[in-house]
Amino acid sequence: MANFAIFRYQKLKSTYSVRRSFKHAYREQDTPNADDSRYQNNQTFGAKNTEQALKLFRELLPEKLRKNGVVCVESLITASPAWFENKTIQEQNDYFKDSVKHLKSVWGNDNVICGGIHRDETTPHMYVYIVPKDEKTGRLNCRKWLGEKGALSKAQTDFHEMVGIKHGLERGREGSKAKHKTLKKYYAELNADALQIESIKPPKLSIIDYAAAAAGKKNSKILENERLAALAAKAATIAKREKKSKAEQLKALEVEQKRINDICERVNKRSDELKVKDDRYSKVDELLSNNANEKVKFLAEIAQLKKEKREATQKIESLVSVTQSDFTERNMPKPKP
């Protein structure tokens, strides 16, 4: 049976989407399809948690971002489940290392910021985060790599030729309309299977059935009991994870509620402070307005006084002139002004 290389890109268009993806990658939120007992088998490079990954991500972002533009690209690398069954951890790591090397050659060494390997799920897979920054312009430009028609198909072909062939993996059929199962659909099917246990009663086993099972000959009753036992275990796992998820959601809601209350309290306090300042400014404005009116009136009075003084001066000068002329005609000494 053929084993295929699996290689995908996912575009992330906001810091919120990037943060949410990081939290899933670094297992900082509930992950129903992950086995907690195998968490220690996971590996990381570049960053060990969401905080470190966000720091690397933000350091590469330019000052100005285009609205609705791609700010980060997440790459998923894995292979057919059967391929991993006969591979050692070292052989698996060699495949993933070659994958990272290929991504750096395509996107640029500095643009590949971090990633890791999940081994706590059914099939090992690698996730790699890339900031699509154009080295020449210093701007984010995902179209440079994925903008052309058929770019994704070409990317898969290049990955197959540079990595897949080396590790004995085939490329998926080009132009295939097959779609991978979404995580949401996976969980829905998982829950549907597990809930069957509530409507099916296990068959009663006799001594003969147990004896047959001990001899290695399992009849239909034994097989049905085993199937239901597996469903029961799956149902218990789902219930445990749902309980944990709800508890985490409740805690998150409480934290968010507290944050909102704090914001409301700060807004109300600031509103009261602004109201006091507004009243103070109104009084000052009123005072300035009254003073302005008084100033205009005062200036008008000064202008009137100057006019009267000017007119009085002119009358005095006229009177002195007439008096001097009169004394001249009479040959009398002129009075001093």
* pTM exceeding 0.85: no
For residue 133, list its beta bridge partners: 140
Residue that has been written with the tokens 């590996």 in this structure: 43
Name the residue with higher pLDDT: 318 or 7.
Answer: 7
pLDDT digits (tens, 9 = 90+) for 9-51: 999 999 999 999 999 999 998 887 888 888 999 999 999 999 9
What letters, b where the CB count within 10 A reaches 16 and e where it falls short, cover 289-301?
eeeeeeeeeeeee
What pLDDT does 244 receive?
Answer: 66
pLDDT over 50 (residue 183): no
**Residue ranges of domains in the chain:** 1-178
Mean pLDDT of the chain: 81
pLDDT digits (tens, 9 = 90+) for 124-177: 999 999 999 999 999 999 999 998 888 999 999 999 999 999 999 998 776 665
Type of residue at 178: A
CATH topology assigned to domain 1-178: BirA Bifunctional Protein; domain 2 (3.30.930)
- 224 CB burial (10 A radius; 0-12, 13-18, 19+): middle
Best CA proximity match to 133, nearest among 101, 109, 154: 109
pLDDT digits (tens, 9 = 90+) for 66-95: 888 999 999 999 999 999 988 999 999 999
